[in-house]
């Protein structure tokens, strides 16, 4: 009996119509980006209400939620590919068109999130090394006279 209950509620991905699968995947990605990724990135960009000692933890959390966002993006893209491959067999073409438009909107959100997250997750050691090599940002590099006078 428990075997019947388990199989009665489990719907394999292959049984889900591709347009529905794309809608569900795109919605999950959109929700994750707007509820988890973008707010953390915005808080890190502005540092509003974020004590300095919590910046490292916030960056670590952002990295974790960004990895999950990338996994969800892959799922959305795979569902879109599946819909494209099955388009001839799709019964509800209007729903399929809506699913593709919704996915396109999610890709715009994904790209915007990348513009926010990318600089925050850039290698901090590289940024620190670049600053040490040229602290004034004028292209002249570090002051050579002070380093040679210490010898």
Domain span at residue 105? Answer: 16-122
Residue 131 covered by a domain: no
Q: pLDDT exceeding 90 applies to what percent of the chain?
A: 64
Structure tokens at 113: 């999130």
Residue 87 covered by a domain: yes
Residue 8 covered by a domain: no
Residue 110 covered by a domain: yes
Nearest Cα to 120, choosing from 42, 3, 4?
42
Residue 142 pLDDT exceeds 60: no
Residue 148 covered by a domain: no
Tens-digit pLDDT profile for residues 71-88:
999 999 999 999 999 988
Q: Minimum mean pLDDT among 7-11, 43-47, 94-98: which range?
A: 7-11
Helix H, strand E, coil C: the string for the chain is CHHHHHHHHCCCHHHCCHHHHHHHHHHHHHHHHHHHHHHHHHHHHHCCCCCHHHHHHHHHHHHHHHHHHHHHHHHHHHHHHHHHHCHHHCCCHHHHHHHHHHHHHHHHHHHHHHHHHHHHHCCHHHHHHHHHHCCCCCCCCCCHHHHHHCC
Residue 122 pLDDT exceeds 70: yes
Count how many domains the chain has.
1
pTM over the 0.85 mark: no
Residue 40 covered by a domain: yes
CA–CA gap between residue 119 and residue 96 (Å, rounded)? 35
């Amino acid at each position: 009996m428990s075997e019947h209950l388990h199989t009665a509620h489990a719907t394999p991905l292959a049984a889900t119509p591709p347009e529905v699968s794309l809608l569900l995947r795109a919605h999950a990605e959109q929700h994750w980006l707007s509820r988890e990724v973008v707010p953390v990135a915005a808080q890190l960009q502005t540092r509003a209400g974020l004590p300095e000692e919590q910046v490292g933890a916030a960056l670590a959390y952002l990295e974790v939620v960004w990895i999950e966002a990338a996994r969800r993006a892959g799922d959305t893209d795979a569902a879109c590919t599946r819909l494209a491959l099955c388009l001839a067999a799709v019964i509800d073409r209007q729903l399929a068109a809506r699913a593709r438009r919704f996915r396109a909107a999610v890709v715009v959100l994904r790209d915007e999130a990348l513009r926010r997250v990318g600089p925050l997750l850039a290698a901090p050691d590289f940024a620190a090394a670049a600053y040490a090599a040229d602290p004034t940002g004028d292209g002249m590099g570090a002051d050579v006279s002070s380093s040679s006078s210490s010898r």
